[in-house]
Amino acid sequence: MISRRALVGGFLAGGVGMASAAVVGNQPAGRSIFSQGLNGEPGPLAIPDMLSGTVEDGVRVFDLNMQKGISHFFDNADTRTLGINGSYLGPALKMRAGETVRINVSNNIGETSTLHWHGLHLPARADGGPHQTIANGNTWSPQFEVRQNAAMFWYHSHMVPRTGPQVYQGLAGLIFVEDEHSGNIGLPGEYGVDDIPLVLQDRRFGRDGSLEYMSAMQDRMMGMKGDRLLVNGTINPYFVARSDSLRLRILNGSNSRIYQLAFSDGRSFVQTGSDGGLLPVPVRMNSIILAPGERIDIVVDLSDGRHVTLQSTTPSLGAAGGGGMMGGGMMGGIMGALMGERADFDVLDIRPDAGRRRAVVLPERLLNLAAPDPANAVRTRRFVLGMGMMMMGGGEMSINGRPMDMSRIDEVVRVGTEEVWVIENPTMLPHPFHIHDVQFRIIDINGRPPAPGEAGLKDTVLIAPGGRVRLLLSFKDYSDPDSPYMYHCHNLEHEDAGMMGQFTVVS
Ligand code: C2O
Ligand code: CU
Ligand code: CU
């Protein structure tokens, strides 16, 4: 349970730090008394190692070890963390569509865990969800065929009900899938040079540099939010750009924070991809919202040679933008600030180098993708998100009135069919809804077609308070009556509190 000292400390710290950030605007966050004395000078952005594995009998094999570690986020403090083949986060895994991969996952973190391949279409037994637990000291070796479009996916712990704390401590990493098409459409593609992954994770630290989890009273209901931002595990990162076209593949790997991303000088950028692949056409924009679990693929032009900073603010999403359940308006804004909900961050300081590679000309079309047509859907299922009486400090998070139960299959889907899933959010908070097994298409959001940036392949969709989203899902293959897939809110504290359900695909 949460100690009284931690409760009081957490609340005060969030209040002092965030209130000033909210008033001053785009100040780097992290001036709370929690982080006083922690020295996080700008440092070069860490780029996760990219593993290609080894090919054994035609199978690409990766070895992952979940382990404990000590991280140096700050110059003057050690932080106990969890990582995969390292002290915090894990390596990026490179796979090719059509090949078979095997991943040997060893768990040495001292407690049971799982490793889930978020966004990948694979048999439920290989999914790494809550049923594929790996006891401490054991190894789990799923093998599956890569049936994806080229995109950036990710892996993370999915241990019920400990996903929140395990991911928070560092159990996550990236997966890059390439296909025949992706290498020759003219997008920047040299990993670590002009094709850069950014894993965004807000964290709260104690004065000694330790990670603080659920130390403030609002964390349970709102989800865990921090006042410092880690990008690939780096505090205050900068990146020296050696090309005029910089491709950024951004994952919101945070437990609960939603970011609104834009560049400091307001310059536009082009979105080329979403969760599960390329968009039909590139979409030019000035800012974009990214919810936990979601990924975007964007290209920014640096031909003017100016320093520019990718920044994030807190989006206003209906009633929950400011104060969440405290209501909107001035009061909501102040309460939101006090509760640590609002924070502005510098995400990445981009420093164009001399002698850069010339800008690429982006293709006009990226992927053939017909608009989603629900005409062939055989049924419609409705999912209503619920937060019980969390406001009163009790109750459980739920979907259709039922909190997650590992022994209950909520929905049974027939393989070879298409379905429409309607997700409704009558709560006062936004929820990023994620579905395992398939990449879906958004039919409409509150009755309107999705924005062009949301018209591609998705596995996670943000549902604003009062919102209603219709999705089209196609369950082409992989039936198994005994192993369920999950659907859930990707706010990890909501997920751990029960906002999750299970479905099987049967023949
Ligand atoms: Cu990213 Cu069910 O998970
Ligand atoms: Cu997933
Ligand atoms: Cu939620």
Phi/psi for 49 (5° steps) reads: -55, 145
Q: What is the mean pLDDT of residues 329-358?
A: 77
What ligand is nearest to the CA atom of residue 499?
Answer: 3
| Statement to judge: residues 19 and 92 lie in one domain | no
Number of domains in the chain: 3
| Statement to judge: residues 333 and 293 lie in one domain | yes
Give pLDDT, residue 391: 56
| Statement to judge: residues 201 and 171 lie in one domain | no
Structural contact between residues 491 and 292, judged by C-beta atoms closer than 8 angstroms? yes
| CA–CA distance, 119 with 295 (Å, rounded to integer) | 10
| CA–CA distance, 403 with 497 (Å, rounded to integer) | 8
| Statement to judge: residues 143 and 285 lie in one domain | no
Q: What is the mean pLDDT of residues 70-94?
A: 97
- DSSP 8-state secondary structure symbol assigned to residue 19: H
Q: What is the mean pLDDT of residues 319-325?
A: 40
Ligand 1 neighbourhood includes 295 CB (under 6 angstroms): no
Give pLDDT, residue 323: 38
Residue whose CA is at the smallest distance from ligand 1 atom 3: 118
CA of 120 to the centre of ligand 2 (A): 8
CA of 158 to the centre of ligand 1 (A): 7
289 pLDDT band (50/70/90 cuts)?
Answer: very high
Structural contact between residues 286 and 266, judged by C-beta atoms closer than 8 angstroms? yes
Give pLDDT, residue 135: 98
Q: What are residue 284's DSSP bridge partners? A: 270
CA of 190 to the centre of ligand 1 (A): 28
Give pLDDT, residue 4: 31
Range of the domain at 497: 374-506
- Which residue has tokens 């990670």? 211
In a domain, 1, yes or no: no
CA of 491 to the centre of ligand 3 (A): 5
Give pLDDT, residue 40: 84
**In terms of pLDDT, which residue wins out, 267 or 340?**
267
* CB contact burial 89-98 (16+ within 10 A = b; e otherwise): bbbbbbbbbe
Structural contact between residues 16 and 227, judged by C-beta atoms closer than 8 angstroms? no
Give pLDDT, residue 342: 79
Pick the closest to residue 436 from 156, 213, 199, 177 (CA basis): 156
What ligand is nearest to the CA atom of residue 292?
Answer: 1
**In terms of pLDDT, which residue wins out, 200 or 5?**
200
Q: Token digits for 200?
A: 């965004």
Ligand 1 neighbourhood includes 293 CB (under 6 angstroms): yes
Q: What is the mean pLDDT of residues 434-462?
A: 98
Structural contact between residues 274 and 296, judged by C-beta atoms closer than 8 angstroms? yes
* Strands lying side by side in the sheet with 287-290: 43-44, 237-243, 345-357, 308-313, 259-263, 287-290
| Statement to judge: residues 147 and 171 lie in one domain | yes
In a domain, 72, yes or no: yes
Q: Please return the burial class of 154, using the count of CB atoms within 10 Å of its CB with bins 0-12, 13-18 and 19+.
A: buried
Task: Please give the C-alpha separations between residue 468 and each of 54, 375, 404, in angstroms, as whole numbers.
Answer: 45, 19, 21
| Statement to judge: residues 339 and 200 lie in one domain | yes
Ligand 1 neighbourhood includes 158 CB (under 6 angstroms): yes
| CA–CA distance, 459 with 435 (Å, rounded to integer) | 6
Residue whose CA is at the smallest distance from ligand 1 atom 1: 118
Give pLDDT, residue 200: 98
Phi/psi for 50 (5° steps) reads: -105, 120
CA of 256 to the centre of ligand 3 (A): 8
Atom of ligand 1 nearest to the CA of 118: 1
Q: What is the mean pLDDT of residues 265-271?
A: 98
What percentage of the chain reaches a pLDDT higher than 70?
87
Give pLDDT, residue 336: 57
In a domain, 291, yes or no: yes
Atom of ligand 1 nearest to the CA of 293: 1
Structural contact between residues 463 and 433, judged by C-beta atoms closer than 8 angstroms? yes
| Statement to judge: residues 204 and 296 lie in one domain | yes
| Statement to judge: residues 59 and 20 lie in one domain | no
CATH number, position 147: 2.60.40.420
| Statement to judge: residues 59 and 168 lie in one domain | yes
| Statement to judge: residues 267 and 289 lie in one domain | yes
Q: pLDDT for 182-213, tens place per residue?
A: 888 999 999 999 999 999 999 999 999 999 99
Sign of the alpha-carbon torsion through 156, 158, 159, 160: positive
- Which residue has tokens 């082409």? 476
Ligand 1 neighbourhood includes 131 CB (under 6 angstroms): no
What's the angle, vertex CA 206, arms to CA 201 and CA 209, rounded to 5? 75
Q: Which of 167, 183, 199 is the last residue of a domain?
A: 183
Q: What is the mean pLDDT of residues 362-374?
A: 95
Atom of ligand 1 nearest to the CA of 436: 2
In a domain, 36, yes or no: no
Model pTM score: 0.90
Q: Token digits for 327?
A: 């209501």
Containing 15, the helix (H) or strand (E) segment is: helix 4-24
Q: Token digits for 232?
A: 């690939």
24 pLDDT band (50/70/90 cuts)?
Answer: very low
CA of 437 to the centre of ligand 3 (A): 20
| CA–CA distance, 187 with 206 (Å, rounded to integer) | 42
In a domain, 3, yes or no: no
Q: pLDDT for 346-364, tens place per residue?
A: 999 999 999 999 999 999 9
Give pLDDT, residue 164: 98
Ligand 1 neighbourhood includes 350 CB (under 6 angstroms): no
In a domain, 481, yes or no: yes
Q: What is the mean pLDDT of residues 143-162?
A: 98
Q: What is the mean pLDDT of residues 328-351?
A: 71
Give pLDDT, residue 305: 97
Q: If DSSP states are collapsed to H, E and C, what string results for 440-507?
A: EEEEEECCECCCHHHCCCECEEEECCCCEEEEEEEECCCCEEEEEEEEEECCHHHHHCCCEEEEEEEC
Task: Please give the C-alpha separations between residue 193 and each of 143, 243, 244, 246, 352, in angstroms, as whole numbers.
Answer: 31, 8, 11, 8, 12
| CA–CA distance, 31 with 69 (Å, rounded to integer) | 26
Tell me: pLDDT of 417 over 50. Answer: yes
What percentage of the chain reaches a pLDDT higher than 90?
83
Atom of ligand 1 nearest to the CA of 486: 2
| CA–CA distance, 186 with 365 (Å, rounded to integer) | 11
Give pLDDT, residue 183: 86
CA of 28 to the centre of ligand 2 (A): 31
| Statement to judge: residues 400 and 349 lie in one domain | no
Q: What is the mean pLDDT of residues 25-41?
A: 56
Number of CB atoms found within 10 A of residue 433's CB? 26
Q: What is the mean pLDDT of residues 275-292?
A: 98
Ligand 1 neighbourhood includes 486 CB (under 6 angstroms): yes
Q: State the number of CA atoms in the 13 A half-sphere of 137 facing the CB.
A: 0
In a domain, 164, yes or no: yes
Structural contact between residues 324 and 39, judged by C-beta atoms closer than 8 angstroms? no
| CA–CA distance, 163 with 160 (Å, rounded to integer) | 6
Pick the closest to residue 373 from 439, 433, 418, 416 (CA basis): 418
Structural contact between residues 501 and 488, judged by C-beta atoms closer than 8 angstroms? yes
| CA–CA distance, 220 with 274 (Å, rounded to integer) | 29
Please name the residues in contact with 304: beta carbons below 8 A apart, sequence gap of 6 or more: none
Q: Which of 287, 322, 357 is the last residue of a domain?
A: 357
| Statement to judge: residues 197 and 170 lie in one domain | no
Give pLDDT, residue 334: 52
Tell me: pLDDT of 399 over 60. Answer: yes
Number of H helices, E strands in the chain: 5, 35
Tell me: pLDDT of 443 over 70. Answer: yes
Q: Which of 304, 332, 357 is the last residue of a domain?
A: 357
What's the one-letter identity of residue 140?
W
In a domain, 32, yes or no: no
Tell me: pLDDT of 340 over 90. Answer: no
| CA–CA distance, 473 with 448 (Å, rounded to integer) | 18
Q: Mean pLDDT lowest for which of 168-177, 212-221, 434-443?
A: 212-221
